[in-house]
Amino acid sequence: MKSNIRIFALLYVILVTLFITNATAYPLHYETTSFKVSGNCVMCKKRIESALKGNPAIKSVDWNVNTKIVKVEYNPHSISLEKIHQLIADAGHDTDKVKASQSVYIKLPDCCQYERKK
């Protein structure tokens, strides 16, 4: 009986240690950033926001059609700012740091093909 209690106690200590280690491995800390993203319309808004929504490291995203500024709340321990820019560029929209590839850009609907900087 005493050996069973010792085994359960040892398992309990191991599980608590694993839980604490896992809980501190990826702190739930969010930062907010804003930057320019090229686009024209509500379809662009949906595409830009969809490029980030669903990613567990992204808490919120909002692209303003008028100002062309995206506001992103994200966990910097889980995703880099560079990766956020790349995900948007992969959807076909240039950011102030990453330009979308031409092959993706030309697949955008005509109304979404914004004027690109040379």
Which is nearest to 111 in space by CA: 43, 22, 52?
43
- For residues 100-117, give the mean pLDDT: 96
High-pLDDT (> 90) share of the chain, %: 73
| Top-confidence range, 2-11, 25-34, 66-75 | 66-75
Closest to 59 measured CA to CA, from 33, 39, 30: 30
Set out the domains of the chain in order of their start, with CATH numbers: 31-112 (3.30.70.100)
